[in-house]
Amino acid sequence: MNETLEKRHMGLKASRTISNTIIYIILILMSVIWLIPFICIVLQSFRVESTWQVGYVIPKQWGWDNYIALWNSDFRKWYFNTFLIALIVAVLQTVIVLCMSYTLSRFRFKLRDGLMRFMLILGMFPGMLTMIILYRVLKDLGLTQANAVPGLILVYVASSGMGYYVSKGFFDTIPKSLDEAARIDGATRAQVLTKIILPLAKPIVIYTILTAFMGPWGDFVFARYVSFGTSAGMNVAVGMYSWLQLDRIGQSYTMFCAGGVIVAIPVTILFMCLQKYYVEGVTGGAVKG
Amino acid sequence: MKKYSDLEFLKLSKGQKFVYRLTSFFAAIPRAIARFFLAIGRFFKNAALGIGREFADIFTTFKEGDWKTRASFLVMGLGSIARGQVLRGLMFLLFEAVFLFYMITTGGYWLSLLPSLGRIGPHEEYNAVLDAYTTAYGDNSFKILLYGVLTIFFIVAFLYTWRLNVKQNKIAQEYQRAGRRLKSSADDLRSLVDEQFYKTLLALPLTGIVVFTVLPIVFMILVAFTNYDGAHNGYTNALFSWQGLANFRTLLTWTGSGVNYSATFGEILTWTLIWAFFATFTNYFLGMFVAMMINKKGIRLKKLWRTVLVMTIAIPQFISLLYVSKMFAKNGIVNGLLLNWGWIDKAIDFWGSTAHNGLLPRVMVIVINIWIGIPYLMLIATGILMNIPADLYESSRIDGANAWQQYTKITLPYMLFITGPYLLTSFTGNMNNFNVIYLLTGGAPTNAAASGAAGSVGYTDLLVTWLFKITTGAEAQYYLASVVGIMVFVVVAAISLVVYNVLPSIKNEEDFQ
The answer, yes or no, to whether residue B51 has pLDDT greater than 60, is yes
Q: To which H or E segment does residue B90 belong? A: helix B86-102
**CATH of region B261-507, choose from 2.102.10.10, 1.10.10.10, 1.10.3720.10, 2.60.40.10:** 1.10.3720.10
Percent of chain B predicted with pLDDT > 70: 94
B261, B110, B464: which is closest to A124 by C-alpha?
Answer: B464
Under the banding of pLDDT at 50, 70 and 90, the label for residue B257 is low
Query: Per-residue pLDDT tens for A99-119?
Result: 999 999 888 888 888 898 888
Cis amide bond preceding A199, omega within 30: no
B340: nearest CB among A41, A55, A99 = A55
The answer, yes or no, to whether residue B30 has pLDDT greater than 50, is yes
Q: In this structure, is residue A109 part of a structural domain?
A: yes
* Nearest-CA distance B67 → chain A (Å): 32
Nearest CA in chain A to B439: A241
Question: Of A125, A131, A164, which to mutate for an interface test with B (greatest number of B Cβ within 10 Å)?
Answer: A125
pLDDT at residue number B457: 81
User: Looking at beta carbons, which residues of chain B come within 8 Å of A96?
Assistant: 204-205, 208
DSSP label of B257: S
Domain that holds residue A138: 74-288
Q: Do B197 and A214 touch (CB under 8 A)?
A: no
Buried b (16+ CB within 10 A) or exposed e, B446-459: bbeebeebbbbbbb
Give percent helix, percent strand, percent coil of chain A, each to the nearest 5.
80, 0, 20
Q: In this structure, is residue A194 part of a structural domain?
A: yes
Query: Per-residue pLDDT tens for A231-248?
Result: 888 888 888 888 888 787
pLDDT at residue number A95: 93
Q: Say how many CA atoms lie within 13 Å of B135 toward its Cβ.
A: 7
Bridge-based pairing of strands B123-127 and B132-136 is antiparallel
> CA distances (Å), B36 to each of B33, B134, B417, B496, in order?
5, 57, 29, 17
B513: nearest CB among A27, A172, A260 = A172
CA distance A113 to B36: 20
The answer, yes or no, to whether residue B501 has pLDDT greater than 80, is no
Q: Do A55 and B333 touch (CB under 8 A)?
A: yes
> CA distances (Å), B69 to each of A131, B56, B64, B308, in order?
46, 16, 9, 70
Backbone angles phi, psi at B134, to 5 degrees: -125, 165
B467, B429, B460, B465: which is closest to B445 by C-alpha?
Answer: B460
ipTM above 0.90, yes or no: no
Q: In this structure, is residue A95 part of a structural domain?
A: yes
B318: nearest CB among A158, A237, A257 = A237
CA distance B338 to B348: 9
Query: Per-residue pLDDT tens for B347-386?
Result: 788 887 777 888 888 999 999 999 988 988 888 888 888 8
DSSP label of B497: H
CATH number of domain containing A169 = 1.10.3720.10
pLDDT at residue number B511: 42
Whether chain B has a CB inside 8 Å of the CB on A33: the answer is yes
* Nearest-CA distance A1 → chain B (Å): 21
| Residue pair A217/A231 in contact by the 8 Å Cβ criterion | no
User: Looking at beta carbons, which residues of chain B come within 8 Å of A220?
Assistant: 318, 435, 438-439
| Residue pair B277/B423 in contact by the 8 Å Cβ criterion | no
Strand partners for B132: B127
Q: In this structure, is residue A252 part of a structural domain?
A: yes
B422, B191, B316, B209: which is closest to A97 by C-alpha?
Answer: B209
Q: Do A20 and B299 touch (CB under 8 A)?
A: yes
A contact residues 79-118, partner B, Cβ 8 Å cutoff:
96-97, 99-100, 102-103, 107, 109
Strand partners for B136: B123
User: Looking at beta carbons, which residues of chain B come within 8 Å of A173?
Assistant: 512-513
Q: In this structure, is residue A62 part of a structural domain?
A: no
The answer, yes or no, to whether residue B277 has pLDDT greater than 70, is yes
Q: In this structure, is residue A168 part of a structural domain?
A: yes
Give percent helix, percent strand, percent coil of chain B, each to the nearest 5.
70, 5, 25
B213: nearest CB among A41, A159, A217 = A159
Query: How many domains does chain A contain in total?
Result: 1
Per-residue pLDDT of chain A (289 residues; tens, 9 = 90+): 456 666 666 666 777 788 888 888 999 998 998 888 888 889 888 888 887 877 777 888 888 888 988 888 888 999 999 999 999 999 999 999 999 999 998 888 888 888 988 888 888 888 888 888 888 888 888 888 888 889 999 999 998 888 888 888 888 888 888 888 888 888 888 888 888 888 888 888 998 998 899 888 888 888 888 888 788 888 888 888 888 887 878 788 888 899 999 998 888 888 888 888 887 777 765 554 4
Backbone angles phi, psi at B226, to 5 degrees: -120, -175
Q: Do B319 and A160 touch (CB under 8 A)?
A: no
Strand partners for B135: B124
Whether chain B has a CB inside 8 Å of the CB on A41: the answer is yes
> CA distances (Å), B433 to each of A251, B80, B365, B366, B466, in order?
30, 52, 11, 12, 12
In chain B, what are the domain boundaries?
Answer: 1-57, 65-181+209-244, 261-507
Under the banding of pLDDT at 50, 70 and 90, the label for residue B512 is very low
Q: In this structure, is residue A4 part of a structural domain?
A: no
Backbone angles phi, psi at A178, to 5 degrees: -60, -45
Question: Of A30, A40, A117, A129, which to mutate for an interface test with B (greatest number of B Cβ within 10 Å)?
Answer: A129
Backbone angles phi, psi at A192, to 5 degrees: -55, -45
The answer, yes or no, to whether residue B150 has pLDDT greater than 70, is yes
Under the banding of pLDDT at 50, 70 and 90, the label for residue B513 is very low
* Nearest-CA distance B66 → chain A (Å): 30
Task: Provide the residue type at B278 as one letter.
Answer: F
CA distance B25 to B6: 16
CA A206 to chain centre: 13
Whether chain B has a CB inside 8 Å of the CB on A57: the answer is yes
